């Protein structure tokens, strides 16, 4: 299971990576626009922050085949751990097929059906990124769609990994993990909610209160 943060905000990545076991980050044009910087401007700081073994998924903006090809090949030269996200349009699939044949590391994104995932896997994409909450927003049952995608790719024996994206809550994340997604990418506010639980806080408070009642306020497990 690969665990990504869906953000390019350096402060959020720094904060969350202190305790979350992340494998890298994912970005898209919207995320980069929020930071006011292009990926090549952010990349040195991201690599310094994440370390050399982490993966970064970043997306092309061009819509036509020639533009996608040019952008993707330029992005691929920036770092060996950079995966190029390409939306699953006709020109996108054409480019995925051509770029995978050249050995580029491609993530097919904006996936909304098992048929799209099948075609991306057949074309050689390393990852497919279905958008869970965006499907839920149109009553398309995003979690079930991820289950179908996982089933189709495994039945075909593809090595393509399912990188589930677009989450609004922790339950969606756990549901797709339970159904076999290989990876998830999570916005910071959902990442926080995966860890936080009020009962954990209550238990810790109770432990401390009971211990201090016997050994005194501020006592620790090492107190003699």
End-to-end CA distance of the chain: 43
CATH of the domain at 160: 3.20.20.70
Predicted pLDDT at 223:
76
Whether residue 52 is contained in a domain is answered as yes
Number of Cβ within 10 Å of residue 219's Cβ equals 14
Predicted pLDDT at 224:
73
Number of domains in the chain: 1
Whether residue 213 is contained in a domain is answered as no
Whether residue 214 is contained in a domain is answered as no
Whether residue 75 is contained in a domain is answered as yes
Whether residue 175 is contained in a domain is answered as yes
Whether residue 220 is contained in a domain is answered as no
Whether residue 218 is contained in a domain is answered as no
Whether residue 211 is contained in a domain is answered as no
Helix (H) or strand (E) holding 183: strand 183-186
Predicted pLDDT at 168:
96
Rounded to two decimals, what is the model's pTM? 0.94
Task: Report how far Cα 133 is from the mean position of its chain's Cα atoms.
Answer: 14
Which domain range does residue 188 map to? 2-194
Number of Cβ within 10 Å of residue 43's Cβ equals 18
**Region label for 94, one of left (φ > 0), alpha (ψ between -120 and 50) or beta (otherwise):** alpha
Cβ neighbourhood burial of 183 (10 Å; 0-12, 13-18, 19+): buried
- Cα R_g (the chain), whole angstroms: 20
Q: Which residue is catalytic, options 85, 90, 102, 122?
A: 85
Predicted pLDDT at 218:
86
pLDDT tens-digit series, residues 179-218? 999 999 999 999 999 999 999 999 999 999 999 999 888 8
Residues of the chain with pLDDT under 50: none
Predicted pLDDT at 68:
98
Predicted pLDDT at 129:
98
Specify whether 85 is catalytic. Answer: yes
């Amino acid at each position: 299971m690969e665990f990504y943060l869906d953000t390019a905000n350096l402060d959020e990545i720094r904060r969350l990576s202190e305790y979350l076991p992340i494998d890298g980050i994912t970005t898209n044009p919207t995320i980069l626009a929020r930071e006011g910087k292009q990926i090549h401007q952010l990349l040195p700081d991201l690599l310094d922050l994440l370390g050399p073994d982490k993966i970064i998924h970043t997306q092309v903006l061009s819509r036509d085949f020639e533009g996608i090809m040019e952008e993707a090949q330029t992005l691929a030269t920036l770092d060996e751990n950079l995966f190029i996200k390409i939306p699953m349009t006709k020109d996108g699939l054409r480019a995925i097929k051509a770029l995978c044949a050249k050995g580029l590391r491609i993530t097919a994104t904006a996936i909304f059906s098992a048929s799209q995932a099948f075609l991306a896997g057949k074309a050689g994409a390393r990852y497919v990124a279905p958008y869970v909450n965006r499907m839920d927003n149109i009553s398309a049952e995003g979690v079930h769609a991820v289950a179908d995608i996982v089933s189709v790719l495994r039945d075909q024996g593809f090595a393509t990994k399912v990188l589930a994206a677009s989450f609004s809550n922790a339950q969606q994340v756990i549901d797709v993990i339970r159904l076999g997604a290989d990876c998830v990418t999570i916005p910071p506010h959902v990442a926080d909610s995966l860890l936080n639980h009020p009962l954990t806080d209550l238990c810790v408070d109770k432990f401390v209160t009971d211990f201090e009642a016997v050994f005194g306020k501020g006592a620790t497990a090492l107190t003699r």
